[in-house]
Amino acid sequence: MRYQIENGTVSLGGKTVLDHIDFSVKGWEKVAVVGRNGAGKTTLLRLISGELSLDRDDKNFGKGIKTDRELSIGFLHQQSFQDVEKTVEQEIISLINEEDIFSRERYYFEKEYDRIFTGFGFQKEDKKKKIKQFSGGEQTKLALIKLLLSKPDILLLDEPTNHLDIASVEWLEEYLTSYEKAVIMVSHDRFFVDRTTEIIYELADGKLTRYVGNYTEYKRQKEKQREVQQKKYDAQQKEIARLNELIEKFKHKPKKASMARSKKKVLERMQRVERPDKEEAYVFKEKLEPITLGAKNVLETEHLKIGYTIEHPLKELTLRIRRGQKIAVLGANGAGKSTFFKTIIGELSPISGKYVIGNGIMTGYFDQHSGEISSEKRVEEYFGECFPKLTEKEKRQVLGKYLFRSQKANMKISDLSGGEKSRLVLAEILESRPNFLVLDEPTNHMDLPAKETMESAFAAYTGTMLFISHDRYFVSKIADALLLFEEDGVKYYPFGYEHYLHMLKKKREGTQTWAEVVEAENTALVEGLFAVPSKERHQTARFSTEQSYTDWQLALAKEELEKYEIQLEKQQEEIEFAEQTVTFEEYQSGNWKIKKEELQKQFEKIAEEYQEQCLIWYEKWQEYEEAFLDYV
């Protein structure tokens, strides 16, 4: 399957939106279109869906769109329910012509229908409800379900995650990854795009640029291209200055005039290198190091009950945070995350229990109201008063890193947007160099360049971080551990967000025996490694032979652990493949049940060996920690 636009132009209201673009998708490619708001991303989807046509001009006499066969194209916003009195069942079953409920086609369709319907958080009983009984957001989800079940050759999605909760978004990510046809999407959810796409088209100034890879890879390639372009531009500008200098020096000297004229011709014929666009986000390449290291144990809590009333405490926490950790706090609204922060920074008193902040710990705190500053001072003036020792040049350089360049630095604080005010406060906090950051939704209300700038700053920060964020991309790039505020309590997860999602997927996969084993493995890791810190690096410390030996043993144990993780991954993939490819005949004969039991036994055996290796790794880590602390 191939869909291609060659040299296509689309104008709306007399304005050119897409300017002689080239675009293609083939096979099962998953494509995302990115760009600023108003760049024309939705216009491109409407063109592909057939709602819009290409302009006809001197350069485009033909249709401009080529396909190797007739393609079915499904667009999410085209899906609407004309008869809301119908039940969901009646609406969805209309997609299949086969009336025999015992037919093979009907069997596979209903199997897929159940999987998608429950994947989006609906109960099977909801199929009997009338469409009008669902909210607007739920009807959008039902429309998406109908679209997915229709299985078009090209699936077009415009902001598909807008009406979905986190669980549904995660399920959709997995579904689209395995969708056996092409997908073209527009989404502001960078984590969603990162996990589901393999081709990125950037739309800017009416032009499309193609990048191979997911969102993270696209950003890496774009930054590399910008750096290369900047070097070429700088080199050429240097050469132009040299030639101009020669021309000016010798143009009035008879013996050198011919040489000056030849240099002038070289200059005139030179193909100019375009100056690269000014980078929207700033990438912090230097570390942001705290003024002092502070204690190794940054925060310790023991049976700390938080909340507003003794009768109804929100949560109880016992934990230890070590120097250098970056921990994301995740949980539903109202779970107690912000209350926990207010307690440990002293704004609220604990209901019971205790908490201890380590010696020498300097806390930088940012809450959801920190950005609500109001002042008639200019940004540069305000920042200068915070850091009076900075020279004028240094002040401008620092503000520029946080995207307060030239005109922005001269704006009054009262004229800044909410996101800009938050960024200014965060710049003040980071440049004060505390060794413990406590941040509640630090990137809320920021545009994409601002978010990417702050992500870069927090990645460069070498102190300890405890932060709340609903931005999954931000969490995945910054956090090396998670603190999960769940209904049954607070759980510490000693790995990053990607690892957590992987384990969560296993946990959600029903009542199968192998899933229970995985859950046991998850519990062993989380509880057994309750407060595993990131490896601390003290370049000035001298390690003994004993410490080096334990370090080496720990590395070997970790290698073994990773081997078992790979085996578990492969075995899980084999089970999933078998479940997806089971035939109707196998299901009826009972052969599938035997095959499934064999696969589960193999998984359980590997999982058991994996858990044993986890314990070995943990013992080696304890030996390493003891030896390490003795010699630091």
**C-alpha–C-alpha distance, residues 513 and 510, integer Å:** 9
Considering 71-80, 433-442, 498-507, the range whose residues carry the highest mean pLDDT is: 433-442
Looking at domain 297-493, its CATH architecture is: 3-Layer(aba) Sandwich (3.40)
Residue type, 620: K
Pairing type for strands 363-366 and 436-440 reads parallel
Residue 36, Ramachandran bin (φ over 0: left; ψ between -120 and 50: alpha; else beta): beta
Question: So what's the pLDDT on residue 357?
Answer: 93
> What pLDDT, on a 0 to 100 scale, did the predictor assign at position 23?
94
Q: What share of the chain is helix, strand, coil (3-state, %, to 5)?
A: 50, 20, 35
Backbone angles phi, psi at 148, to 5 degrees: -65, -40
Q: Which pLDDT value is given to residue 397? A: 92
User: Residue 176: is its pLDDT beyond 80?
Assistant: yes
Number of Cβ within a 10 Å radius of residue 162: 12
Phi, psi of 20 (to 5 degrees): 50, 55
In angstroms, the CA 605 to CA 592 distance is 20
Contact 327, 481 (CB under 8 A): yes
377-398 mean pLDDT: 91
Interacting residues of 339 by C-beta distance below 8 A, sequence separation 6+: 306, 307, 308, 314, 315, 348
What pLDDT is stored for residue 421 in this prediction?
92
| pLDDT exceeds cutoff 90 at 431 | yes
What lies within 8 Å, CB to CB, of 631 at 6+ separation is 541, 542, 543, 544, 547
2-218 shares its CATH topology with 297-493: yes
Stretch 279-297: mean pLDDT? 88
Q: What is the mean pLDDT of residues 34-52?
A: 89
Band (pLDDT 50/70/90 cuts) for residue 533 is very low
Instruction: Let me know: does 356 contact 295? Beta carbons within 8 Å.
Output: no
Q: Is the pLDDT of residue 136 over 50?
A: yes
Q: How far apart are CA 111 and CA 224, in angstroms?
A: 46
How much is the pLDDT for 538? 34
Cβ–Cβ < 8 Å for 420, 454: no
User: Two tokens at 145?
Assistant: 């379900």
Token reading at 252 = 């009035």
* DSSP characters over 197-227: -SEEEEEETTEEEEEES-HHHHHHHHHHHHH
Residue type, 303: H
Query: How far apart are alpha carbons 152 and 165 in whole angstroms?
Result: 25
pLDDT digits (tens, 9 = 90+) for 487-526: 888 888 888 898 888 777 766 664 333 344 344 544 444 4
Amino acid of residue 516: E
Q: What is the pLDDT of residue 576?
A: 72
Query: 139 vs 120, 163, 389, CA distance in Å?
Result: 12, 10, 58
pLDDT of residue 339: 92
CA separation for the pair 419, 397 (Å, rounded): 20
pLDDT in tens, 304-324: 999 988 888 888 888 889 999
> Looking at residue 474, what is its pLDDT?
94
Q: Are the C-beta atoms of residues 596 and 510 closer than 8 Å to each other? A: no
pLDDT band for position 628 (50/70/90)? Answer: very low
In percent, the amount of the chain with pLDDT more than 70 equals 85
Residue 182 has pLDDT above 90, yes or no: yes
Cβ–Cβ < 8 Å for 603, 572: yes
Cα–Cα distance between 628 and 411 in angstroms, integer? 50
Residue type, 54: L
403 burial (CB, 10 Å; 0-12 / 13-18 / 19+) is: buried
Evaluate whether 9 touches 15 at the Cβ level (below 8 Å): no
The per-residue pLDDT for 502 is 78
Predicted model pTM: 0.72
Distance CA(365)–CA(312), nearest Å, equals 26
- As a whole number, the mean pLDDT across the chain is 83
Contact 336/306 with Cβ under 8 angstroms?
Answer: yes
Among residues 558, 561, 569, 571, the alpha carbon closest in space to that of 611 is found at 561
Q: What is the mean pLDDT of residues 378-397?
A: 91
Q: Which residues contact 627 (CB under 8 A, 6 or more apart)?
A: 544, 546, 547, 550, 551
Neighbouring residues of 98: CB distance < 8 A, sequence distance ≥ 6? 105, 106, 109
Which pLDDT value is given to residue 594?
A: 79
Q: How far is CA 396 from the centre of its chain?
A: 31
Query: What average pLDDT does the segment 213-225 reach?
Result: 91
State both tokens at 465: 């971080």
Q: Residue ranges of the domains in the chain?
A: 2-218, 219-269, 297-493, 524-630
235 contact partners, CB below 8 Å, separation of at least 6? none
- How far, in Å, CA of 437 to CA of 610, rounded? 36
> Is the separation of the CB atoms in 65 and 4 below 8 Å?
yes
Least confident residue range of 61-70, 341-350, 530-539, 587-596: 530-539
What pLDDT is attached to residue 79? 56
Q: Which residues contact 24 (CB under 8 A, 6 or more apart)?
A: 2, 3, 4, 5
Beta strands in 111-229 (DSSP E): 154-158, 182-186, 199-204, 207-212
pLDDT bracket for residue 328 (50, 70, 90): very high
What's the CATH number of domain 2-218, 3.40.50.300, 3.30.1180.20, 3.30.200.20, 3.40.630.30?
3.40.50.300
Residue 211: the pLDDT is 95
Answer whether 392's CB lies under 8 Å from 358's CB: no
Q: What are the tens digits of pLDDT across the range 583-594?
A: 766 766 777 777
Mark 262-294 as b/e (b = at least 16 C-beta within 10 Å).
ebeeeeeeeeebeeeeebebbbbeeebebeebb
Closest CA to 140 of 202, 195, 194, 78: 78
Residue 214 predicted with pLDDT over 70: yes
**328, 471 contact by CB (below 8 A):** no
Q: Is it the case that residue 299 has pLDDT exceeding 90?
A: yes
Tokens representing residue 439 in the block: 């941040």
2's enclosing H/E stretch is strand 2-12
Q: How does residue 610 score in pLDDT terms, banded at 50, 70 and 90?
A: confident
Q: Which amino acid is at 495?
A: F
Band the pLDDT of 556: cuts 50, 70, 90: low
Residue 629 has pLDDT above 50, yes or no: no
Q: What pLDDT score was predicted for residue 515? A: 42
Contact 390, 427 (CB under 8 A): no
DSSP per-residue codes, 144-164: HHHHHHH--SEEEEESTTTT-
* Statement: residue 549 has pLDDT above 60: no
495 three-state secondary structure: coil
Other CB atoms within 10 A of residue 105 CB: 12
